[in-house]
């Protein structure tokens, strides 16, 4: 259906937005991946460019090896106040907690994290009232005033309006002052198919709050809309006075129950005000269909901000400096089954796409992987004169196909193709792994069902990430490409 594409596709959930002049800035959750909290810029709310990551150095964020998949960094709130950008976020890893960072330039550098030991709960929101008091509100929904310069709480937490009676998981609170009225926006119903957004209003940041009679103001639950799980929203006012909402959603594919494979994506909708309440319009189409091809020849001394790795990444096992024009990966752990795998990937942000990489395994082994977590990944791996397609699905790991190849560099690839829905059990897509020969022809070795790399199978909060990895020894990569896969429409 037209008008149902995200403005920031792929695994970019929990969007928080702010505007400074004619510029919009948006941050998302990153969970177990580093660098943490991708940050985007736009002038029109439709076309977004990643300008960096907020937590982009080990001094700000290094997640422990035992941080679980879908653990780590949850639900930032991004605001601009008193000439400075503020971002508050939860680190759900052991010893983490809520933290606050600031910057004068959203592209960075951002400050070292300021711990907030007195702020409990996830999904923290930050807002200043007219007398300068800084209020922090968290999932639950509870609130406490804080000193944003020292991290101290300035009172006892108190409960606020927590949404529809009986609705689970009231979370993602955001507070706004519109005229003389304060609005409390929350998500509720869980982040699955029952997700929704509700709102209440009151005379101050602490209420008392009355709920909107039309709640939820946004939800696609119990509908056949191709975008589901809509929720975790944030509001922004444009320079022309119009209001907009960004929120997460998923695009399930295949038969029943529907599998979403890209993770939770960022969508946009207009908002109008009626009788003092926000009314959310239909989804505005993003620019996914015009997505350009991406190529990285690894010529820069540092990786581009779109490259991410699980839990930690440093030059001892990932660098472009050892061999100019090459990405050098040194294996650690036990490959992709291990929490400390040496893997560098980019979020899959197209439903139909193709990725290629030129790999020189040398005395080691490595290749190209499509990762959801340690227990759910597919890969094509070269080493020892053999190319293997491997699949890990829950407790099962198997070699799906093998091919003897000459020693030396070779090009590995994967094509991701949506599949037609032929019956209730149809999967969402097929991942075809193969080798590109000297003549440019792609030899397919295995075609795997994409449902097993979906949230509905694996669980969690992330989406697919595609990129190079090292399983043993030292492996070099000459280049990586990612582009839309042009195919006939699905029947």
Q: What is the C-alpha separation between 351 and 425, in angstroms, rounded?
A: 19
337 DSSP 8-state letter: G
- Catalytic one of 123, 171, 349, 381: 171
User: Which two three-digit tokens encode residue 481?
Assistant: 């490409």
Whether the bond between 264 and the residue before it is cis, its omega within 30 degrees of 0, is no
Q: What is the C-alpha separation between 33 and 88, in angstroms, rounded?
A: 18
Ordered DSSP codes for 310-328:
ES---TTTEESSSSTT-EE
Q: Establish whether 14 is a catalytic residue.
A: yes
User: Which two three-digit tokens encode residue 120?
Assistant: 């409990």
289 backbone dihedrals φ, ψ, rounded to 5°? -65, -20
- Helices and strands, counts by H and E, the chain: 1, 37
**Of all helices (H) and strands (E), which one includes residue 458?**
helix 455-458
Q: Establish whether 171 is a catalytic residue.
A: yes
Angle made by CA atoms 262, 60, 26, in degrees to the nearest 5? 45
Assess contact for 328 and 320: CB atoms under 8 A.
yes
**Buried b / exposed e along 454-468 (16+ C-beta atoms within 10 A):** bbbbbebbbbbbbbb
Beta bridge partners of 125: 137
Assess contact for 254 and 419: CB atoms under 8 A.
yes
User: Which two three-digit tokens encode residue 99?
Assistant: 């933290």
- Catalytic one of 14, 340, 373, 374: 14
Active site residues: 14, 171
């Amino acid at each position: 259906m037209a008008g149902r594409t995200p403005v920031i596709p792929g695994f970019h959930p929990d969007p928080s937005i702010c505007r400074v002049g004619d510029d919009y800035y948006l941050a998302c959750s990153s969970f177990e991946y580093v660098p943490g909290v991708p940050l985007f810029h736009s002038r029109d709310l439709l076309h977004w460019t990643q300008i960096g990551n907020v937590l982009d150095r080990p001094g700000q964020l290094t997640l422990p090896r035992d941080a679980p998949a879908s653990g780590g960094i949850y639900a930032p709130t991004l605001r601009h106040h008193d000439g400075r950008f503020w971002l508050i976020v939860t680190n759900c890893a052991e010893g983490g907690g809520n933290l606050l960072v600031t910057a004068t330039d959203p592209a960075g550098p951002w400050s070292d994290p300021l711990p907030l030991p007195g702020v409990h709960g996830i999904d923290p929101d930050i807002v200043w009232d007219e007398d300068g008091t800084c209020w922090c509100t968290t999932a639950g929904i509870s609130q406490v005033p804080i000193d944003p310069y020292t991290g101290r709480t300035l009172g006892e937490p108190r409960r606020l309006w927590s949404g529809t009676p009986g609705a689970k998981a009231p979370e993602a609170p955001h507070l706004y002052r519109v005229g003389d009225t304060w609005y409390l926006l929350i998500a509720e119903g869980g982040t699955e198919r029952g997700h929704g957004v509700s709102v209440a209003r009151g005379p101050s940041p602490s209420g008392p709050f009355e709920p909107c009679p039309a709640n939820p103001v946004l939800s696609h639950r119990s509908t056949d809309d191709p975008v589901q799980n809509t929720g975790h929203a944030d509001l922004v006012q444009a320079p022309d006075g119009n209001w907009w909402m960004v929120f997460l959603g998923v695009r399930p594919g295949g038969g029943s129950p529907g599998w979403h494979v890209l993770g939770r994506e960022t969508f946009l909708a207009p908002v109008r005000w009626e009788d003092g309440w926000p009314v959310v319009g239909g989804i505005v189409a993003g620019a996914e269909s015009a997505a350009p091809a991406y190529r990285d020849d690894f010529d820069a001394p540092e990786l581009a901000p779109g490259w991410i790795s699980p839990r930690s990444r440093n030059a001892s096992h990932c660098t472009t400096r050892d061999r100019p024009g090459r990405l050098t990966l040194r294996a650690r752990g036990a490959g992709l089954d291990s929490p400390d795998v040496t893997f560098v990937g980019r979020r899959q942000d197209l439903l139909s796409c193709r990725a290629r990489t030129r790999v020189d395994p040398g005395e080691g082994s490595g290749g190209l992987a499509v990762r959801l977590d340690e227990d759910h990944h597919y890969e094509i791996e070269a080493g020892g004169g053999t190319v293997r397609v491997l699949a890990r699905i829950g407790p099962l790991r198997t070699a799906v196909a093998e091919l003897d190849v000459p020693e030396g560099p070779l090009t590995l690839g994967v094509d991701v193709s949506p599949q037609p829905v032929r019956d209730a059990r149809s999967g969402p897509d097929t991942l075809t792994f193969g080798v590109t020969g000297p003549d440019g022809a792609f030899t397919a070795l295995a075609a795997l069902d994409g449902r097993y790399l979906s949230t509905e199978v694996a669980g969690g909060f992330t989406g697919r990430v595609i990129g190079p990895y090292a399983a043993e020894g030292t492996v070099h990569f000459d280049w990586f490409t990612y582009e839309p896969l042009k195919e006939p429409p699905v029947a």
